[in-house]
Structures are given as C-alpha cells and as structure tokens.
Amino acid sequence: MGLYDRDYVRDQPRGFFLGGDRSMVTNLILINVGVFLADSLFDQAISERLWVQSDLFQKPWNAWQLLTCGFVHAPAIMHVGINMFELWFFGRDIEAIYGKREFLRLYLSLIILSALAWVVSENLFVHPANPVPMLGASGAVSGVLVLFALHFPRRLIYIWGVLPVPAWLLCLLFLIQNLVGFDQMLAGGDEHIAYATHLAGATLAFIYYSTGWNMGRLVPQRMSWSMLQRRPKLRMHEPPQHEEDLGRQVDRILEKITREGEASLTQTERRTLEEASRRYQQRRK
C-alpha cells in the first residue's frame, strides 16, 4: 500500500469554533442553521424560494435551486437537526482527508447532482399530479456517510451511545432502508421522503471514491494546444527515499494505534502523522 493510500489520524481540535480558522464542516452547519432560523422567522418564505420542485424541466430557469435546496430544511427542526448532526459526526474525518476546499467542492456537487437525480426520478417514475418540492442536505450527507464507511469501514459507531456497529454495516443498513423505501414509493407508498436523493448521493460518493476524482481537476484551468497533442507514455519511478521512510513510519504508528489506541502516541509520532496528512492533502489539491 502506498503512502497516499492510507487513512491518517490527525491530532486536531474537534467540534465548533466561533472564531479563528473554522473547519468547512462547521461553516456549513452554521449556514444551514442560520438559514433555518431565518426561515422560521419569515414563515418558511425562504424555503419556498430556495427549494427545488419536480417540474424543474418545465422551468429550467430555476436550475439554481438544485444547489439552494440543500440549505433549507423548514419546517421540521428534526430535519435540520439530524442532517447537521450526521454532517458533523461523519464530515470531520472526511474533511481531514480531502482538505477544506475539496470537501466543499464535493459537498456542493453532491447537493446538485443528488437533487437532479430526484427531479429525474420524479418525472420518470412518480409523475405527481402537481409539482412537489424537495429540500434538505440529505443527498450530500448520504454521500459523506458512504465516504466515511469506505475510508473507515471498521470504525465503531455507537447507536444511542450503547450499541456498537461498524461503519460498513451502518452504511449497508442505511442503503437497504432507502432501497426498500424507494421500492415502496414506486408502489404508491410514502412520497414525503426523497429516497432517490439519498441513493443518488450514496452512489456518487462511491464513484468519487472508486475513481479517485478530484473536483478541482475536473476542468483544466487553462486550455492549450499542447493539451491536444499526443503525450508520451507514463513511466513508473521509485518514490523518493524520504517518502519511503515516512511510509514505514506511518505503518509502524498505525500498528501501534491498533494495539494500544491513539492515546498511546508520542508527540513525535503525532507530528509524523500530521506531516503525512499534509502531504496527502497537497497531493489531492
């Protein structure tokens, strides 16, 4: 396994910080909560403007709502509460892996594409008599959950604080629940849950992880004639000696974490993991 294929443990502050260099997860949560509170004051007038509706293909000028729908959750406080808790719980480790900017690009892409998948699903399978709205960050949060399970499949999640469940199993149960719900919806069941959005976000996250996409490199910053010319074949080369040494140190530290836990690490070992994490993020940007 190469140095940049590993999951790293970073010794960084967790939670909310109202000043200084806040994490992107914290910024997104503050925005969502702020919009929810403002929407509550204005009797959901903001939601009605920002949510996306199933008749989007008949009103393509409202395509911007594919993004804005991911930041409104009115009127149910449980809706915004659950989504933001899951974003905080699973998103911090994902942001630590990909970095702030790439995490933001990924999060916004998941919102847009999962919302678009919902619109397509509504028009292909449901055909509502009247346009119906869809709102919430569930599509993006579903993608973050899947990425967490892919990076940390054996990480234990304590349901209700007492029942330990590995991340891969939690993710599998989530997917099964949504597949069953989507099937029941097609049969005329509950249409108030956007199962297609959840499944689309999960699928897109899996593709992102499997292909090694980087949202910042999907479109070249500058086009030139040299980009159209035939490029020489790539040659394999040995990694620098320093990278090999760093990789061996990381392997040893991860084995120690497995045996004795993260609390057993020395300051030197923590700095080694931080350096490896910085190198990984620089490679992703």
| pTM exceeding 0.85 | no
Residue 140 pLDDT level (bands cut at 50, 70, 90): very high
Q: What is the pLDDT of residue 277?
A: 76
Q: What is the pLDDT of residue 244?
A: 59
Burial of 55 (C-beta count, 10 Å sphere; 0-12/13-18/19+): middle
Regarding whether 74 and 106 lie in a shared domain, the answer is yes
Q: How many CB atoms lie within 10 A of CB 227?
A: 9
Residues near 213 by Cβ (< 8 Å), separated by ≥ 6? 207
The more confident residue out of 151 and 228 is 151
Regarding whether 263 and 213 lie in a shared domain, the answer is no
Mean pLDDT of 180-197: 80
Task: Name the domain count of the chain.
Answer: 2
- Contact 279/247 with Cβ under 8 angstroms? no
Mean pLDDT of the chain: 80
Q: What is the pLDDT of residue 11?
A: 40
Regarding whether 198 and 97 lie in a shared domain, the answer is yes
Regarding whether 192 and 249 lie in a shared domain, the answer is no
Q: What is the CATH number of the domain that holds 179?
A: 1.20.1540.10
Mean pLDDT of 11-27: 63
Q: Please check the confidence at residue 61 and state whether its pLDDT lies above 90.
A: yes
Q: Which residues of 187-199 are buried (b: 16+ CB within 10 A; e: fewer)?
A: eeeeeebbbbbbb
Tens-place pLDDT, residues 63-109: 999 999 999 987 778 889 999 999 999 999 999 999 999 999 999 99
3 state DSSP class of 120: helix
Q: What is the pLDDT of residue 44?
A: 83
Regarding whether 261 and 190 lie in a shared domain, the answer is no
Residue 218 pLDDT level (bands cut at 50, 70, 90): low
Answer whether residue 227 is part of any domain: no
Residue 283 pLDDT level (bands cut at 50, 70, 90): low
Residues near 108 by Cβ (< 8 Å), separated by ≥ 6? 67, 70, 140
Q: Please check the confidence at residue 194 and state whether its pLDDT lies above 90.
A: no
List the domain range (segments joined by +) for residue 156: 16-217
